[in-house]
Each structure stands twice: as structure tokens, then as C-alpha cells.
Chain A
Amino acid sequence: MNAPEVKPADGLQKLVGNEWHRLAPAAIVHFMVKFVLGVAKNGIQNVAYLGGIAVFTGDNRWWILGLIASGALITLIVSGVLAYLSFKFRMEGQSFLIKRGVLNKKRLTLSFDRIQNVAIKEPIYFRPFGLVALGLESAGSSDEEISLAGIPRTLAEQIRTTVLQKPAAPAKAKAATKEAVTESQPSQENEELLLAQPISELVRYGLSNNNIWVIAGLATGAFFQQAEAWEGAVEDFVRSTVIPVVGDSPVILGSLLGGVVLFIVLFLMTLSVLGAIIIYYNFRLTFADGRYHRTKGLFERQETSVPESKIQSLQINQPWPALLLKRWHITIKQVGFGKTEHQPGSQRPSFIIPSVTPEFFRPFTERLLGPIDWGTQLSRVSKRYVWTSFLYWFLPPMVIAALIIGYFTGTKGFIFPFVFSLVILPTLILRHRRFGYWTNGKTALVRSGLIGNQTSAFAFRKVQTVILKQSPSQRRRDLATLTIQLAGQTLTIPFMPLEDAAYWRDQILYEAETSKLAWM
């Protein structure tokens, strides 16, 4: 694999024309890696066939497996080369044109104003060649995403500057493209560094983000579901290996079990910390030319840029482990990021700023949204939230469950709902305490949570829809549930005083309708 064929210096001008361009040949590696990852992600079950072959084919199994492996390798190389050969791109006016696909030929046109995010990734296998992968993400579907894997870094940076620059007028398209190239140089100098995270903060992020506990919870669940499968084996192991050594005192066995659990937790935490360091290594957040840039990553350096105007809201999260460490994690919400949560497969990485303190996030939020009064208490929602949720949503199913269990087991079954309500009520009370809201008529904060909490900060002018709902009991008490739809997320404030809810709705509509600023 040799040096890139497109010369970095005149790269951008070359692109603007009728000629199609290829990626650097090193892209073959990228296509192969992508193919392998795709198979690994979607086709883990295929491995079972290999296992089947290994088990059932007898003496010549290695020969057959070797044949399959070399066949797969050849397919991989050929498909990598073909993908490289069929991938072509060029720029025309204000849009990007791509031709790709070996069997299914696809042509894609993505105009600059639809581009939401520009990401520059530097995978480890591109580093020796000075190449990067440039990702252009649109606000629309994931089909419209372009990845130029294997172009020189300077060219990628020029494309980024050009693409993210607002054109002065459509007619001046070509002129704007050329200006962009010259303007990109000085912009690097007045780049403002907002945040640089040392390893210590990444360790804190690794310890305090929720993911590890979610995974641990799921793993525990799966573990106990399969209890029958491993119970016997564990018992045998303990009987044959552990007890002869340590004796069968319940104290010793109990503390051994505790030790094992502690070890697993520590192991998971170490994994999480390592993961955080690998993903967020040398995290830097900078601001230049109306855009926020983020660079991070140990093995794969990633650069992501978001134009300031496209930010829809900020989510300031403090999961419960972060309470102990007094840290917050910020997520920048953009168009379309909210709905991907319900569509697995089209998930994009979210823009997270890990492990910050109020000294960072308060001025940062105000920089984006204007003044916020952090000193005042957020308004609380009505206590009716606890009782109504309990009476409407939990009591009826509990009574039915109690009747059914009671029918089969006698009076003992009736205890069940009382035990259950012991768990549910405190949960609802905790949730009620976390709900909070504040606004100055332009900017708003909405907080929710259970033990930890997340506060969303957003400008009223960016809201898409407001929904005001009232149940019969809410109507009697002049309460309402307000749902605010932003382009990046949906927020719900339950059981707020009707007066506040109506004020929020009216003020949101006023701000959204009178604001002359672009919301995206």
C-alpha cells in the first residue's frame, strides 16, 4: 500500500469538478475490517456452524475448517478490493456525491446544509499512512451517511471546514468553497480550548457512568435465569475443591462468596475504567468558527464537530455512582438523537462530555443558552404524583395479583401487595423528589431521576411541540402534565400546577414563533 494519490495541498480544488475520485488504497484494509466487524456483530450465530463442523466432521475437521478459513480470507480480500474499486466520490457545488456498492450500485447526493455532524476518525491502521476516515452524518436516516475512509488528514479538515460553513448565498456556491480553503488556516489559531480531560477524570468517568451497572444487572439476571444449568456444576466444584481446602464453616464460605462478588464488581469497574480511558483518552473540547470540536480516543482518534446552532439541548447527568464522586456527565442533544433510542441499529454515538464539575458545566450551559439562575431551588411537582401514580398504575394490578395468588395459596397471598407497595412507594417518592423545573421565560431546566438525576437545559425557542394533558383528578386539583418535544429529546413534567403548565406552554409558543434565529 503506497502513499495517497490525492495530493493534500490541492486536494479540495481537485474534488470540485466532474472527475470521480478514489480513496487511498489503504481503504481496502478499512473495508475488510468493516466487513469482519459487520459479520461479528450480526452473525455471531454463524460461529455455531463452525462449532458444529468441528464437532461432527471427525478426523478431517481441521482440513475442512482450514478450507473454510482460507475461503473466507480470500472472499474478504476480494470484497475489500472490489469495495475500494467501486467507491468513488466528488464534490459539486454545495453537495457531496458518492458512488458505492459492488453488486448493488448506489449513488448518493448529500447537500451540505443537510449535514449535521462531521467526524474525523483516525483508526490505528490508517496512522502509518497519515490517513483518516471522514464521516458526514445527516439529520435524516442512516442511509444518508457518508464515510470517506482513507483520505489524507489535511483534505478531511478542508472538507470539514467547507461543509460546515454556512454558504452566504446559494449562487455563490463555488466561491464559498474556495474561500473556505483559505479561511480554514487562521481558524485553527483562534481556537478556544474549553476542556481538556486528564486521565484522572476519565477514571472517574469510568467509575461513575451507569453503563457498567446496567451490564452487571443484565448479567446477573441472565445468570440466575440459567441457574439450573450451572447450579450443579458450582455445587460440585465447591464440594470437591473448595471445602477440602477451607473447611465447611458457613462463615468462611460466606466470606469467600462475598470475596468472589467483590472481585467481580472490581473487575467490572476496572473494565469500565479501561474502556473510558481507551474511548476518551486525551479528551479535548474546543470552540472555533461557531462550532464545538471534540477529539478523543487512544487507538482511534476521533474528531467530531457540531455547529453551535444545531445543539438542541444539554443533558446534565449525574448517575448515582457519580453522586459519590461529585461529577456530572454532559450529553449534547442534537436533531434526531432522541428517536434513535427506539430504533436499534441506527444508533449514533452521542456527544458526551465526561466527568465535569459545576465550574465547567454552569458557564458552559450559560454560554449556549444565556443566563441561568443556578442558585434558586427548582420548582417541585405536586405530591399527587406519588398517590395518583400509585392508585392508578400500581394498586389495581396489585389487587388483581393478590386476588389470584390468594385464590390459590390462601390468606398468605394477600400479603404480597403490601410487600410490593413497600418497594413501589419509596421509588415513587424518590422520583417525585427528583422532578424539578425552572425557567426565566427563555431558557428552562427540567430535572428528573430516581437516585441520580438528569437535568435537561434548553431554550424555549427550539421546542417543536407542547402537549398539555389533564386526567380527571388533575382537573379537580388544577394540575397538568406537560410534555415538551425537542428535536433531540422529549421531556415530561408530571403534575405541575396548571398555572405553571399554561405559562410554560404559552411562553414556549411565543418564543418559538417570534424567534428569528434558526433552530437547526
Chain B
Amino acid sequence: MTASESFINEPMKAADIPTATHLTFDRLDERHTRVLLTEWLIVWLIPTVAWTVLYGFGAIKSSLLSGFWPHLLPLALLVPILVLAPLYARHCGFAVRDHDIHYKNGILWRKQVALPFNRIQHVETEQNPFERLHGLATLKFFTAGGGSADMKIPALATHQANDLKALVLEKAGEAADERA
């Protein structure tokens, strides 16, 4: 077999293939920042309380630490939390096309997942306590590819999550019908 025989490259069709490079992504719900802040602050709070108590009772001693100012040390970590949460939320987004759904996240390390509707096995809606507090939900999409969810879209308003789920399932159903 020669190279020219096996090389199939239909230029007309290839040019028609839509690219997912310049998609316009929908932002997640604006309450996403608040959920992130709540979650991250709780993670921050646990060692902070431990630090304050231990230092307050004199359990932590070092020649570098003296007086009241070490109590303020955990506050330094608050700055990146307060800056990063809104920034991270701004970098998350999803896009729905006719035949697939895309999700992107990451401030520096950016990730973009693409999932064709006709590969979706099932969809799950999930609400952790913080999301429930803010009336948000996470949509999880499963394919036959991995063990855990292949795509997770967090921080969707509950009604938006339900609408999107219905839309995706409808599209997935259409895709299945087409094939059959």
C-alpha cells in the first residue's frame, strides 16, 4: 500500500468541520464565587483555629515567634483565597452545541473537556450543602470511558441545571434514535 492510497483527506469536508477552538462559553452562576469562598474558607478555618488555640496556649514555641503578631499569620492566606475565588469562577464556563457539550476551567492550567451527546450514558445532579445553601447544583455526565464522572459542571442555578439536564438527555436520546 502506498502513502497516497491510504491517505484520506477530503479538503471540502475537512474545511467544513466545525472547530471548538473559538467557542463562546457561558459563565456559571455568579453565586459560584460565594460557594467557592465558603468552601475554601472552611478549609482555611480548620488549621487557623488549631493554630490560634495551640499558639494561644503556648503549645507552639519558636525563637521566631513571639508576642501577638503570630496570631495574624493565617490572615496572610486569606489574601490569595479572596483573590483566587472570583478569578477561578470567572475562568469556568460551559458551551452547548448541537451535538456536544464543552466545559472549561483553570486559571493558569487550563482544561477543556468535550463530550459528544451520543456518548452520554447517564447524567446526575448533585448538591453539596454549600451549593444547597446558595440554590446551586452540579451536573455530572458519565460516559463509558472512565469510572468517575467524565464531565462535571458545578454552580448551576437549580432550574438551569434541570433545564440543561433535560436538554442534554433529549439530545442524547435524539442521537440514539438517529443511530438506530
Tell me the A residues contacting B by CB distance below 8 Å.
Answer: 139, 335-336, 338-339, 342-343, 371-376, 440-442, 463-472, 475, 485-487, 490, 502, 505-507, 509-510, 512-513, 516-520
Tell me the B residues contacting A by CB distance below 8 Å.
Answer: 1-3, 5-10, 14, 17-21, 99-100, 106, 108-119, 143-147, 150-151, 175, 178-179
Q: Helix, strand, loop or mixed for chain A's interface?
A: loop
How far is B3's CA from A484's CA once the two chains are assembled, in angstroms?
Answer: 26
19 A–B contacts, CB within 8 A, in A order: A336-B144, A373-B1, A375-B2, A440-B6, A440-B7, A441-B10, A465-B119, A465-B143, A466-B113, A470-B109, A475-B110, A485-B146, A487-B143, A490-B145, A502-B19, A506-B19, A509-B20, A513-B99, A513-B116
List the 4 closest A-B pairs by CB distance, nearest first.
A464-B145, A485-B145, A371-B6, A513-B99
A-B contact count (CB 8 A): 114
Chain B residues near A506 (CB, 8 Å)? 17-21
How far is B115's CA from A513's CA once the two chains are assembled, in angstroms?
Answer: 10
Chain A residues near B2 (CB, 8 Å)? 375
Nearest B residue to A376, CB-CB: B3
How far is B151's CA from A510's CA once the two chains are assembled, in angstroms?
Answer: 19
Contact A509 B100 (CB under 8 A): yes
Nearest A residue to B112, CB-CB: A468
Contact B144 A516 (CB under 8 A): no
How far is B1's CA from A486's CA once the two chains are assembled, in angstroms?
Answer: 28
Contact B144 A487 (CB under 8 A): yes
- Which of B2, B116, B150, B151 is most buried by chain A, counting CB atoms within 10 A of its CB? B116
How far is B102's CA from A465's CA once the two chains are assembled, in angstroms?
Answer: 10
Given contacts A467-B111, A509-B99, A518-B179, A342 and B147 within 8 Å (CB-CB): yes
Given contacts A339-B147, A509-B100, A373 and B113 within 8 Å (CB-CB): no
Chain B residues near A490 (CB, 8 Å)? 145-146
User: Closest CB-CB distance, A459 to chain B, in whole Å?
Assistant: 13
Given contacts A490-B145, A509-B20, A513-B100, A464 and B114 within 8 Å (CB-CB): no
Nearest A residue to B2, CB-CB: A375
Nearest A residue to B121, CB-CB: A464
Chain B residues near A475 (CB, 8 Å)? 110
How far is B1's CA from A11's CA once the two chains are assembled, in angstroms?
Answer: 49
Contact B111 A469 (CB under 8 A): yes
Contact A468 B111 (CB under 8 A): yes
